[in-house]
Amino acid sequence: MSLYIITVILTALASNITLPVVGGFRVTLGVVALFAMIHAFRLKRPILLATVTGIVVVLVRILLESFRMPINPEVASNYFLEVFFYFGFGFLYYYSVIHNQSAYPLPLVIALAISDAGGNFLEYLLRTLAADQTWTNTSLVTILLAASVRSILIVFFIWIIKRIFTKFVDERSSYD
């Protein structure tokens, strides 16, 4: 249980390290930290963990933003749509990596890129339906590029985690 709490806190803190790409679209290290920990430590229930973590990330961002300026419902709703990115990523990760029983499973970096892009597409769809203009300048190429960069970073962080925490990772050898 403590590893789950550490994962949520680490992700919430890492999500504040951002690289703006285009318009309101940004690449953060939060999702990198989350899915590197989920994969390296084989944490169970990634959809639930990703959704809860998304909610905590949004609340932390709103809290930090409230120190800079007053928060109105428009700003808060802009942040809350990001929860669907975490949910979408977790959902697609579960079915493309953990639950994949294929004789030829996808390489991890490809499955992560698909999960990331799918989460972004879900968030983009909901922003469009909500008439949120935050991502109006964001293109498909930008989303796919960000997904690829984050996926490579996740694989790199998985490798680092496994090198540092070798004994602990080996003890958690399956998703049972």
Q: What domains can you pick out in the chain, each with its CATH number?
A: 2-171 (1.10.1760)
Q: Percent of the chain, pLDDT > 70? A: 86
Q: Which residues pair with 27 in a beta bridge?
A: 19
Mean pLDDT is lowest, of 61-65, 74-78, 104-108, 152-156, for 74-78
Within 10 Å of residue 2's Cβ, how many Cβ atoms? Answer: 6
Write out pLDDT tens, residues 1-40.
Answer: 789 999 999 999 999 888 776 655 677 899 999 999 999 9
The secondary element (H helix, E strand) that includes residue 10 is: helix 2-14
Taking all residues of the chain, what is their mean pLDDT, rounded to a whole number?
86
pLDDT band at 176 (very low <50, low <70, confident <90, very high): very low
Output the CA angle 161-165-166, nearest 5 degrees. 105
pLDDT greater than 70 at residue 137:
no
For tokens 């004994």, the residue is 167
Taking each helix axis from N to C terminus, what angle separates 82-93 and 73-80, rounded to the nearest 10 degrees? 10
